[in-house]
Amino acid sequence: MRIGVDVGGTNTDAVLLAGKDVLGAVKRPTSGDVSTGISDAIGALISECNIRPDEITAVMIGTTHFTNAFIQRRELVPVYVIRIGFPAARGIPPFASWPEDLKATICGGSAMVPGGFEFDGREISALDEAAISEAISEARKKGIKQIAVSCIFSQLNPDHEDRAAAMIGKKAPEIEVSLSSELGRVGLLERENAAIMNASLRPLAAKITAAFKHALQDQGITAPFYISQNDGTLMSADYMQRYPVMTFAAGPTNSIRGAAWLTGAEDAIVVDIGGTTSDVGVLKDGFPRQSTVHVDVGGVRTNFRMPDILSIGLGGGSLVCEDGDKVTVGPDSVGYRLLSEGLIFGGDTLTASDIAVAGGQISFGEPDRVAGLSPELVSKACKSIRESIDDAVDRMKTMPGDIPMILVGGGSVIVSETPQGVSEMLHPEHAGVANAIGAAIGQVSGEVDRIYNIAGPKERTAALADAEAQAKAHAISAGAQSDSIKIVNIEAVPLQYLPGGATRVVCRAVGDLAMAE
């Protein structure tokens, strides 16, 4: 049996899964220390399902804590950056693109040192160890405890970053190191930004890891725990402590994956309706479709593996407004105050949930309180809701033709009709905790993103085989059971404007977590 936990900004959800069955689900408020909320939720789950803590084989936790901390600039520490690649790239130094407030909090200095690689694997310069020594001394002198290391084409060859990390470990063991090669893909600035963000979150990561451990101990659980990454796969607690930035965007990913698991769908649109907003994502071959554009997090440009999500201002608490003949629903919302301000809950604000009850789609709260609403208003509001969803679904489709849709989230009651372009609307049981389920079913992955020189079909086959083998090896080292690994994505894209067959190959392998079940 495994437990999935979703630590959100407002609620902490926990579910218990055995094979293909959901044995129980609970919701508790998230606590300021994180730990108490998790402990409460798991405690309630264990007693509700009447099981013993030692029957649990693993706990999977998804959290938005680090994303929120970064966006709200909470508990971030200064970071020193060593960029390897000089004399290339020197025109745009580290932090050049950062918002001023964040830079003031995080920038602890930087050095650009000789080293790095060309696209074809040649060294730009030999790694300058003396320059790295000097940078380490400078960081130490400033009392900085976090160093981010980036290097040109390090996702192709991490050697120079690894050597710098080893030197830091030797010379300044008190300093923690974040490597760009562990975090991103092609795009030096974005990869470097990810390493800096990660470094700034490391002390918080240590605290949160301890909070998770504490919560599980509290409930007498000795099984290992894992954390959801932004692509829906899992990492170990140790890895999260080193790479907290990999949890960014795990929330929407988990809800899409949870929706897939609850319905068995492999390809579908997933609409997750909350109190204020709805997230619309796409499930492709069982995984969320990834965003291809740059994603700004807290004003910093990154190129993480993020799900492609369209957020719209429509939720269970959305305000219904009449403006002459027109009726609009959202984007303003009463949010979590729905339970006190919505008409059906005794308040005096007309919300999307009131419309759902008035329209007879569902009955909860005090339906009498909306019985007097004009049928015309109700029908116009329903139409507005339907049009918003129709539009969002249509925007996220990549091909003409109808596609199944899965409806999840606490606010999903406001949708009753199958939107246009949807072949079948699925609204599974436990849709309200799809997020925690997504965490519980997490697999482990490995990825490669590098450039091969492909002169002919023979080299092409060899390059793709090599990429697959490397991705599989990465998945195994991340904890995957080797016979369960599948290649879920492999792309070979020739580089523009370059002779000689230089081709970027991206390959991702995913497998089940190796554990005693």
Partner 1 sequence: MVSAITLDNIEHLAIGSSFLGTGGGGDPYLGSLLCREAIAEYGPVPVISVDELKDEDNIFIAAAMGAPTVMIEKLFSIEDQHRAVATLERFLGREASAIISAEIGGCNSMMPVAYSAMRGLPIVDGDGMGRAFPALQMTSFNIEGVACAPLTIADEHGNSVLYQTTTGLKAEELARPVAAAMGASVCMSCYPMTGAEARRATIPKTLSGAIAIGEAIADSSDPRRPLARLVAALRGHEYYNDAAVVFEGKITALERDTSNGWVLGNCSISAMAGTETAELKFQNENLLVTVDGRLRCVVPDLVTIVDVETAHAIPTERLAYGQRVAVVVCSAPPLLTTARALDVVGPKSFGLDEQYIPVNELIKDLI
- What is the spatial distance between Cα 8 and Cα 276, in angstroms, rounded to a whole number? 14
Residue 394 lies near partner 1 (rule: CB under 8 A)? yes
Residue 500 lies near partner 1 (rule: CB under 8 A)? yes
Q: Which of 9, 10, 54, 93 binds partner 1 (CB under 8 A)?
A: 93
Dihedral of CA 35/37/39/41: which sign?
negative
Contacts with partner 1, 209-248, as mask; x by CB under 8 A: ----------------------------------------
Question: Shortest gap between Cβ of 143 and partner 1 (angstroms)?
Answer: 27
CB nearer to partner 1: give 106 or 485.
Answer: 106
Q: Which of 118, 128, 138, 390 binds partner 1 (CB under 8 A)?
A: 118
Contact 52, 231 (CB under 8 A): no
- What is the spatial distance between Cα 278 and Cα 7, in angstroms, rounded to a whole number? 18
- Number of CB atoms found within 10 A of residue 91's CB: 6
CB nearer to partner 1: give 26 or 451.
Answer: 451
Helix (H, G, I), strand (E, B) or coil at 300: strand
Quick one: which segment of 83-91, 235-243, 331-339, 471-479 binds partner 1 (CB under 8 A)? 83-91
Q: Which DSSP letter does residue 441 get?
A: T
Contacts with partner 1, 182-211, as mask; x by CB under 8 A: ----xxxx----------------------
Alpha carbon dihedral 71, 72, 77, 82, in 10-degree steps, equals 20
Dihedral of CA 307/308/311/317: which sign?
negative
CB nearer to partner 1: give 396 or 485.
Answer: 396
List beta partners, residue 113: 84
Quick one: which segment of 57-65, 237-245, 477-485, 493-501 binds partner 1 (CB under 8 A)? 493-501
Amino acid identity at 178:
S
Q: Residue 198 corresponds to which tokens in the numbers above?
A: 């990660």
Q: Residue 20 corresponds to which tokens in the numbers above?
A: 């293909």
Residue 419 lies near partner 1 (rule: CB under 8 A)? no
Backbone angles phi, psi at 242, to 5 degrees: -90, -30
Question: Shortest gap between Cβ of 183 and partner 1 (angstroms)?
Answer: 15
Q: Which of 103, 142, 171, 395 binds partner 1 (CB under 8 A)?
A: 395
Backbone angles phi, psi at 165, to 5 degrees: -60, -40
Dihedral of CA 187/190/193/198: which sign?
negative
- DSSP β-ladder status, 11-18 and 2-7: antiparallel
Contacts with partner 1, 445-474, as mask; x by CB under 8 A: ------x-----------------------
Backbone angles phi, psi at 88, to 5 degrees: -75, 160
Residue 121 lies near partner 1 (rule: CB under 8 A)? no
Quick one: which segment of 30-38, 93-101, 166-174, 482-490 binds partner 1 (CB under 8 A)? 93-101
Q: Which of 9, 29, 264, 494 binds partner 1 (CB under 8 A)?
A: 494
List beta partners, residue 284: 287
Residue 75 lies near partner 1 (rule: CB under 8 A)? no
- What is the spatial distance between Cα 378 and Cα 356, in angstroms, rounded to a whole number? 8
- What is the spatial distance between Cα 168 and Cα 148, in angstroms, rounded to a whole number? 11
Residue with tokens 């959202």: 330
For residue 299, CA distances in Å to 15, 89, 189 come to 34, 22, 14
Alpha carbon dihedral 311, 315, 321, 323, in 10-degree steps, equals 30
Residue 264 lies near partner 1 (rule: CB under 8 A)? no
CB nearer to partner 1: give 9 or 121.
Answer: 121
Q: Which of 9, 29, 87, 220 binds partner 1 (CB under 8 A)?
A: 87
Residue 504 lies near partner 1 (rule: CB under 8 A)? yes
Helix (H, G, I), strand (E, B) or coil at 386: helix
Positions 279 through 318 that interact with partner 1 (CB under 8 A): 292-293
CA 258 to mean position of chain CA atoms: 13
Rounded to a whole number, what is the largest CA-CA distance in the chain? Answer: 79
Question: Shortest gap between Cβ of 496 and partner 1 (angstroms)?
Answer: 5
Positions 129 through 168 that interact with partner 1 (CB under 8 A): 152-153
Total residues in contact with partner 1, by rule CB under 8 A? 40
Question: Shortest gap between Cβ of 164 and partner 1 (angstroms)?
Answer: 17
Question: Shortest gap between Cβ of 120 and partner 1 (angstroms)?
Answer: 8
Positions 94 through 113 that interact with partner 1 (CB under 8 A): 96-97
Residue 92 lies near partner 1 (rule: CB under 8 A)? yes
- What is the spatial distance between Cα 358 and Cα 371, in angstroms, rounded to a whole number? 6
Question: Shortest gap between Cβ of 503 and partner 1 (angstroms)?
Answer: 10
CB nearer to partner 1: give 84 or 415.
Answer: 84
Question: Shortest gap between Cβ of 506 and partner 1 (angstroms)?
Answer: 12
Question: Shortest gap between Cβ of 165 and partner 1 (angstroms)?
Answer: 20
User: Where does this chain bind partner 1 (CB under 8 A)?
Assistant: 85, 87-93, 96-97, 118-119, 124-125, 152-153, 186-189, 292-293, 394-400, 451, 493-500, 502, 504
